[in-house]
Amino acid sequence: MSSLVLFLLCLLGSGAVVVAVIGIEFTHFSKSNNGWQAGSYQLLALSLFLGCCGLVAGCLSRSLGHVLAILLGLAPVELLAFLFYQVENHGTSVASPAAQEAALVQEEARVEARRAALTRAQLAQQAAIARTHPYTGRDSTQPYEAAEQMPSLTGSPEFAPTSRASYRALAHLLSRNATPHLDPTEPRPDTIPVGFTVGPYGGTFHAQIQYGEIPELGAHTRAEAAVLRAAAALPRLHPGRINGQPVPVRIVVAVPLPVAR
């Protein structure tokens, strides 16, 4: 068979496939069914498969003319398949923002689950410490108000003469843990002071809101509850010390809160 005859046969066949695909899409198109039809995919796949078989046969017979005739004759089918690919790829790229948003939601859910697991682990650790080292007697009822080395979150000195300047790292941690439990639209004070006792083993006890040098400015009950919840979930702190020995110390931390929107 000459290359010209093979080219004409491939061109007629590919033209018939293109007309058939257009007919299938036209007859089956509707608002509820606006995607490519399965029959169109099957026709294109069959045409390309037969073309590939012809190309393999041409290569094996070392007939460059037959290979070129098949490639040029199948050009309409190749162009239509490329159009299908481009349209499908465009649809995928349009849907990608929604997929990215779903992935972000799943990632946030995993992060929240991890935070909850860490919180439960911290509470279990504190409960185990409390059982192993009972915190009673003078330590619980009469803690020191000052010590040679005051308690801290980091182990470095954090105490300052004023509450606002003291325990900045601890205040930041309490604020970060309390913020998720706040209503962003609800009025609240910009700072809530919370007092608690840091035991000789680093546990925290008897947390309560303490308005001393910081006056109460319409403090909201739910905001105070969020701060108390954050204080209850604190990890073990570095205890206060007198003469090198750990002792219970009562401290007050000014917890900054985000401004309500």
Q: Domain for residue 111, yes or no?
A: no
* 106/140: higher pLDDT: 106
Q: Is the pLDDT of residue 34 over 60?
A: no
Q: Is the pLDDT of residue 125 over 90?
A: no
Domain stop point among 95, 120, 142: 95
- The count of domains in the chain is 2
Find the length of the chain. 261
Q: Domain for residue 195, yes or no?
A: yes
- Distinct helix (H) and strand (E) counts, the chain: 7, 5
pLDDT, mean of residues 124-148: 64
Residue 137 binned pLDDT confidence (cut-offs 50, 70, 90): very low
Q: Domain for residue 128, yes or no?
A: no
The 10s digit of each residue's pLDDT in 179-225 is 888 877 777 788 889 999 998 888 888 899 887 555 555 557 788 88
Residue 36 binned pLDDT confidence (cut-offs 50, 70, 90): low
Quote the CA–CA distance of 120 and 237 in Å, as a whole number: 17
Quote the CA–CA distance of 100 and 134 in Å, as a whole number: 50
Same domain, 239 and 172: yes
The residue segments making up the domain with residue 36 are 3-95
Instruction: Tell me the two tokens of residue 226.
Output: 């969020």
Domain stop point among 95, 123, 149: 95
Q: Exposed, middle or buried, 146 (CB in 10 Å: 0-12/13-18/19+)?
A: exposed
